[in-house]
Amino acid sequence: MFDSLKQAINDLRRGTVAPVDRRAAVNDMKRALVSAKLGVDDLRDLAEQTKRKLQAERDSLETVVRRKALAAGINDAETAAIAEKYERQHAERIAVLERKAEVQDAEAALAERELAEMTAALKSANAGVGSGAPPSGPTDEELGLPDDAALHAELDGLARRSARSEADAAAEAKLAELKRRMGQS
């Protein structure tokens, strides 16, 4: 269900994502996981809607059966025949809705398991597993150092500017190459 997200997480874990691109990739994946979570919630909502329709059909079947019995009790064959027709229709709808609810529950459960696996994989990728970098050692928190949000923000900004500069340089090089080719043609 989430094949592209799984592939991106696997790329991170295998270390095939450039170190400068890891943070942006992890952030993109976090947003994708939020969307996936919403998708799982939608699947659960659809399953609940189906269950409500199923209950409404069961209630309607119960009413039709009761009316058929009442009609038979007063020897109203026409009403009993109509009630029997509707009884069959409601029974068919119930059977279909039961299968549909079962499938929707299974689909939602599968999606929830995949989402949990991807969340765990993303956490390990976010922690640097597969980055190709040596283990970073103890965290600031483990060493008892204060959390310096300003320093982290500045480092993040430097990393973004560096990545942007590299991307701009690559784009300029491609543009120069394209201009050179266009001039020669």
Same domain for 87 and 30: yes
Cα radius of gyration rounded to whole Å, the chain: 30
Task: Give a yes or no: residue 139 inside a domain.
Answer: no
Structural domain count of the chain: 2
Does residue 26 register a pLDDT over 80? no
Residue 51 domain-assigned (yes or no) = yes
Question: What tokens does 50 get?
Answer: 């189906």
pTM for the model stands at: 0.54
Residue 89 shares a structural domain with residue 47: yes
CA distance 37 to 115: 7
pLDDT at 28 over 80: no
Question: Please, which pLDDT band fits residue 112 given cuts at 50, 70 and 90?
Answer: confident
Long-range contacts of 47-53 (CB under 8 A, 24+ apart): 47/101, 47/104, 47/105, 47/108, 50/97, 50/100, 50/101, 50/104, 51/101, 53/97
The pLDDT, as a whole number, for residue 145 is 54
Report if residue 169 sits inside a domain: yes
- Comparing CA positions, the residue from 44, 47, 39, 40 lying closest to residue 97 is 47
* Structural domain boundaries enclosing 67: 3-131
Given pLDDT bands bounded at 50, 70 and 90, which one contains residue 16? low
Instruction: Return the SS3 of 15.
Output: coil
Same domain, 30 and 90: yes
| pLDDT tens profile 62-85 | 999 999 999 999 998 999 999 999
Statement to judge: residues 107 and 152 lie in one domain: no
Please write the tens of the pLDDT for every residue from 119-176.
887 777 666 544 444 444 455 555 555 666 676 777 777 778 888 888 888 888 888 8
Query: Same domain, yes or no, for 61 and 107?
Result: yes
Q: What percent of the chain has pLDDT over 90?
A: 31
User: 34 and 66, same structural domain?
Assistant: yes
pLDDT of residue 136: 46
pLDDT for 96: 94
More confident residue, 58 or 33: 58
70 and 157 co-located in one domain: no
Residues 172-185 have a mean pLDDT of 80
